[in-house]
Amino acid sequence: MPDLTEPAPWWKTAVVYQIYPRSFADADGDGIGDLEGVRGRLDHLAWLGVDAIWLSPFYPSPMHDFGYDVADFCDVDPLFGTLEGFDRIVAEADERGIRVIVDLVPNHTSHEHPWFVASRSSRDDPKRDWYVWRDGGGPDEPPNNWVGAFIDGGRAWTWDEQTGQWYLHQFLPQQPDLNWANPEVREAMHGVMRFWLDRGVAGFRIDVVHCIGRDQSFPDDEPPWVGIPHCAINEHPSSHAYIREMRRMVEGYDGDRVLIGETALPGTHWVAPYYGEGDELHLAFNFAATHAPWDAERWRHRIVRLQEELDPLGAWPTWVLSNHDVPRHRTRYGGAEARARAAAVALLTQRGTPFLYAGEELGLEDAVVPPERVVDPGGRDGCRAPIPWEPTPGHGWGPEPWLPFPPDAAARSAEAQRGDPTSVLHLYRRLLAARKASPALRLGTLELLDVPDGLVAWRRRHGDDVRTTVLNQSEQTVAVALAGTVEVASDGEGEGQPFEGQVGPDTAVLLRP
Ligand code: TEU
């Protein structure tokens, strides 16, 4: 029986909305999103009903990885705005009851970061050991067989002519890995965290946090992992020790500041240990759902596994369907709006903290990016298309946005959908309101129900508050023996009416008693 008296920390009951600043809103008309753009859309987010925003990196960067290559952890890139502009976002979000989470990128810096410039300047530089330098077998033989991400089977090591050693980069050569085994590095990153905590952020989304601890003997990757980016499987106990240090540090602050780890590992059983014994991450991304196809059996399996793997640890789950690294879920599920709608009902009635990716509330698909406009070495441009705000040809952006708009941008623009109560946008708003109003949806237990093939159904319960979700992932209408009033329907049909016991294809309903 859950303790119904204990107040839950905000991050358990929150819905978090991810903003990729380049793609969100363009206030200065240069075709690249910016912080003033974010500030200008806070009313949209308050109207929608989200509790927190997570801002992907807006720090000074040469943008080889569009900001995940940070050249200064404690400033704002002029392309995006200023520190004062950031402070205004925190203040104005707070006025709307919205918390601000920032992205911490602890695993690596840009090659232009002054720390790396110093480190590579000479073997005797005091910052040499802030990065990972090894001899390997000389210029032709890297220290091991690790492969870097986004470099097409390429190695995770780059030879530095001037000082005659290899440096490690689990991502691009322009993203050298920091050496977390060095306590000075850990102290410096704690300083970065304090800088943002003191400015009032509610916590951090921590980029590839499972990558920071590494086996100091740097052994070769073994089959079946040879040839895939090493970051996808890096595992070492020291990561846990470093995370515990971060946790102790943030616990010195008031207000339940949160650590959300991007634990991009092959499954929930790999992710679970990063919650520690309540002394590591508060939340860890569980990307398993982003890999599950539109199939009732697979979804059911995901829900069961999540319970089996996290519940015994007392770890609070997370749910993510889309982000800036993977094709949007509407696109992954084949493009039909009906599926995107049903997925929204499923996501927002799950047990755990849901993360929305900007634009999913508009039912956006990935943009089709012609070869001459490809900019990301990792092939992730489609999901990073600019958000269409207005139905006008420029959609609220400067003349040449950095990427093409997604399909049907006028009809799917925020303004067009706001005027249409039957839109995907209004569906998300009703779901967020339903979630906010129901302790069962926010905090309740989850029990899977026995239903016919093609359906997944679950019941959430907290005290005497109860909600039931039925999701039909098949291509037929399916009858199901459940009763209640339709609170939200993915197609908007029958809301407020008694449930008639039939769920249409690619449709989901949320029932209250
Ligand atoms: O992504 C980490 C990660 O593991 C990615 O490789 C992801 O699995 C891949 O993009 C899927 O295509 C984080 C950030 O989210 C990503 O944007 C950065 O490029 C990366 O770290 C390096 O900082």
Rounded average pLDDT over 484-507: 98
Rounded average pLDDT over 121-145: 98
Q: What is the pLDDT of residues 305-350, one digit of tens each?
A: 999 999 999 999 999 999 999 999 999 999 999 999 999 999 999 9
Q: What is the pLDDT of residues 353-394, one digit of tens each?
A: 999 999 999 999 999 999 999 999 999 999 999 999 999 999
pLDDT at 407 over 70: yes
pLDDT at 203 over 70: yes
User: Residue 359: what pLDDT?
Assistant: 98
Per DSSP bridges, beta strands 283-284 and 258-261 are: parallel
Give SS3 for 52: strand
Q: How far apart are CA 101 and CA 56, in angstroms?
A: 9
In terms of Cα–Cα distance, which of 63, 89, 59 is closest to 75?
Answer: 59
> Is ligand 1 within 6 A of the CB of residue 264?
yes
> Is ligand 1 within 6 A of the CB of residue 69?
no
Closest protein CA for atom 2 of ligand 1? 208
pLDDT at 6 over 80: no
As a whole number of Å, the end-to-end CA separation of the chain is: 21
Q: Which residue has the tokens 């995006």?
A: 80
Closest protein CA for atom 14 of ligand 1? 207
Q: Both tokens of residue 121?
A: 């300047």
Among 70, 171, 270, the mutation site with the greatest number of ligand 1 atoms within 8 A of its Cβ is: 171
Residue 3 burial by Cβ neighbours in a 10 Å radius (0-12, 13-18, 19+): exposed
| Active-site position among 26, 77, 207, 221 | 207
pLDDT at 5 over 70: no
User: Residue 289: what pLDDT?
Assistant: 84
> From the CA of 447, how far away is ligand 1's center (Å)?
33
> Is ligand 1 within 6 A of the CB of residue 149?
yes
In terms of Cα–Cα distance, which of 69, 78, 1, 80 is closest to 33?
Answer: 80
Rounded average pLDDT over 396-423: 97
Q: How far apart are CA 371 and CA 368, in angstroms?
A: 10
Q: What is the pLDDT of residues 39-95, one digit of tens each?
A: 999 999 999 999 999 999 999 999 999 999 999 999 999 999 999 999 999 999 999
Rounded average pLDDT over 164-185: 98
pLDDT at 511 over 60: yes
Q: What's the gap between Cα 341 and its chain centre?
A: 20
Among 208, 270, 366, the mutation site with the greatest number of ligand 1 atoms within 8 A of its Cβ is: 208
> From the CA of 325, how far away is ligand 1's center (Å)?
6
DSSP string, 201-215: --EEEETTGGGSS--
Rounded average pLDDT over 150-171: 95
Query: Is 262 a known active-site residue?
Result: yes
Residue 395 burial by Cβ neighbours in a 10 Å radius (0-12, 13-18, 19+): buried
Let me know: does 333 contact 392? Beta carbons within 8 Å.
no
Rounded to the nearest integer, the mean pLDDT of the chain is 97
User: Residue 2: what pLDDT?
Assistant: 52
Query: Is 376 a known active-site residue?
Result: no
Q: What is the pLDDT of residues 256-271, one digit of tens each?
A: 999 999 999 999 999 9
> Is ligand 1 within 6 A of the CB of residue 231?
yes
Q: Which residue has the tokens 């509790």?
A: 51
pLDDT at 15 over 90: yes
**Number of C-alpha atoms within 13 angstroms, CB side, residue 290?**
23
pLDDT at 101 over 50: yes
| Active-site position among 69, 262, 376, 506 | 262
> How many residues make up the chain in this entry?
513
Buried-state track 328-349, b at ≥16 Cβ within 10 A, e below 16: bbbbbbeeebbbbbbbbbbbbb
Closest ligand 1 atom to Cα of 325? 10
Q: What is the pLDDT of residues 420-446, one digit of tens each?
A: 999 999 999 999 999 999 999 999 999
Closest protein CA for atom 22 of ligand 1? 68
Q: How far apart are CA 238 and CA 211, in angstroms?
A: 10
Nearby residues of 304 by Cβ (< 8 Å), 6 or more positions away: 448
> From the CA of 176, how far away is ligand 1's center (Å)?
14
pLDDT at 1 over 50: no
Q: Both tokens of residue 490?
A: 């993915």
> From the CA of 147, how far away is ligand 1's center (Å)?
14
